[in-house]
């Protein structure tokens, strides 16, 4: 059985804006603006429409790369050998030669900064064995994320039949990708070099010019093909709020950037993040059977924030803590339950709960003495 503790939080101001008052992404075929931690949609236009997404495809490639690094299947300093297939990619590239060796880190730079199709395929082959098998992994991940309007045919985004996504789905992939903070070090870099200190030194300049010209932008991925038009998924952070915007099918890079800036400006000027619960705040206590301590303090694994407008009326928000049955040993960071943020009887967010400090398993002598003490205190009854 789970123990449920309900705690009322606070009133949060929110302003309601009529959608017809928002005129954003006018030239885009589709567009969306979300807050990254909650996934709250701030603005959308034809966001579910299936469209070619060009090199924004590479966000899924990068997501799978980061997951493979996290699970130990891949290391940043691992040397990858480019195949003839990878080196044959057209479009944007870092000009890999068949048999050329390059580290994972440099290939990821080539993907993030230079949008290298060849670098993307080289990494796809390392992880999947073949690009085709990697594409299957991409589509499997899309299903895991609940994306209904996405299908991948290649790892880099070159135009081909049945290769499509939507602004909403791209935003959801970006939402997962920005959880890997390391990737933002690459996507937020305006220029760098590959093959340093060699005769073949290659200058990388970020295809996302907003990284340089709009404060707070540190990613994510541009895209352009004749069929897709000009596309971009952008993320920017100011104060404690991170926004993600997507525009697809823009007529030019200038308009693409201009309409992206307008969306970000609208988001930052209109909304803010309100901290509901700090990750350091003790919110409950949990019993730890056979632990060196009989109970431990419960905290959230992360700060819990909620998006609200800067001026407006107020709404009621509560949260529930659902604690699991646990036993020692248990460490800080281990999940001991969940925290559901609730508004109008609907769960609007769920976050993991953990304990404030490690609890080791008690030895048999400690358990024996504790039971004797409980008997003396009358906490344990003896059936004689």
58 a catalytic residue? yes
* 329 SS3 class: coil
Q: Could you tell me the CA-to-CA distances from 259 to 175, 220, 286 in Å, in that order?
A: 20, 16, 50
Annotated catalytic residue, options 83, 115, 166, 300: 115
- Residue 80 contacts residue 98 (beta carbons within 8 Å): no
Q: Which phi and psi (to 5°) does residue 189 adopt?
A: -90, 130
Q: Which phi and psi (to 5°) does residue 283 adopt?
A: -115, -10
* C-alpha–C-alpha distance, residues 64 and 145, integer Å: 13
Nearest to 264 by CA among 237, 303, 282: 237
Nearest to 244 by CA among 224, 223, 260, 228: 260
| Encoded tokens for 297 | 């303090």
| Encoded tokens for 86 | 């990878």
Annotated catalytic residue, options 55, 83, 92, 165: 55
| Encoded tokens for 16 | 């309601």
Annotated catalytic residue, options 58, 109, 141, 175: 58
**Torsion over CA: 138, 140, 146, 152 (sign):** positive
115 a catalytic residue? yes
Q: Which residues is 351 bridged to in the sheet?
A: 339
* C-alpha–C-alpha distance, residues 180 and 103, integer Å: 19
Q: From the CA atom positions of the chain, what is the Rg in Å?
A: 25
CB atoms within 10 A of CB 334: 15
* C-alpha–C-alpha distance, residues 331 and 308, integer Å: 34
| Encoded tokens for 187 | 């996507």
- Residue 55 contacts residue 156 (beta carbons within 8 Å): yes
**Active-site residue numbers?**
55, 58, 115
């Amino acid at each position: 059985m789970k123990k449920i503790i309900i705690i009322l939080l606070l009133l949060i101001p929110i302003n309601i804006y009529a959608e017809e008052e928002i005129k954003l992404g006018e030239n885009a075929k589709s567009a969306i603006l979300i807050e990254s931690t909650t996934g709250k949609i701030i603005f959308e236009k034809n966001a579910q429409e299936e469209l070619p997404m060009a090199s924004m495809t590479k966000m899924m490639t990068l997501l799978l790369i980061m997951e493979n690094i996290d699970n130990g299947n891949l290391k940043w300093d691992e040397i990858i050998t480019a195949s003839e297939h990878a080196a044959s990619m057209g479009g944007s590239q870092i000009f890999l030669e068949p048999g050329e060796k390059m580290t994972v880190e440099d290939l990821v730079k080539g993907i993030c900064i230079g949008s290298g199709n060849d670098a993307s395929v080289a990494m796809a082959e390392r992880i999947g064995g073949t690009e085709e098998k990697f594409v299957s992994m991409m589509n499997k991940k899309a299903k895991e994320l609940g994306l209904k309007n996405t299908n991948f045919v290649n790892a880099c985004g070159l135009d081909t039949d049945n290769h499509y996504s939507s602004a909403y789905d791209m935003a959801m992939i970006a939402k997962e990708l920005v959880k890997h903070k390391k990737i933002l070090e690459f996507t937020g870099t305006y220029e760098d070099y590959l093959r340093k200190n060699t005769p073949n030194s290659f200058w990388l300049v970020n295809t996302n010019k907003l990284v340089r010209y709009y404060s707070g932008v540190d990613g994510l991925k541009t895209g352009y093909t004749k069929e897709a038009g000009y596309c971009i998924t952008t993320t920017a952070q100011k104060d404690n709020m991170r926004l993600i915007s997507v525009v697809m099918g823009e007529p030019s890079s200038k308009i693409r950037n201009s309409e992206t800036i307008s969306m970000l400006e609208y988001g930052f000027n209109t909304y803010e993040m309100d901290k509901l619960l700090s990750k350091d705040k003790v919110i409950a206590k949990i019993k730890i059977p056979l632990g060196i301590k009989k109970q431990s303090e419960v905290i959230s694994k992360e700060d819990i924030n909620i998006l609200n407008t800067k001026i407006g009326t107020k709404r009621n928000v509560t949260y529930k803590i659902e604690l699991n049955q646990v036993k020692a040993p248990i460490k800080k960071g281990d999940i001991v339950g969940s925290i559901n943020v609730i508004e109008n009887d609907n769960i609007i967010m769920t976050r993991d709960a953990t304990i404030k400090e490690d609890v080791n398993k008690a030895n048999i002598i400690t358990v024996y003495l504790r039971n004797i003490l409980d008997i003396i205190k009358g906490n344990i009854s003896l059936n004689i």
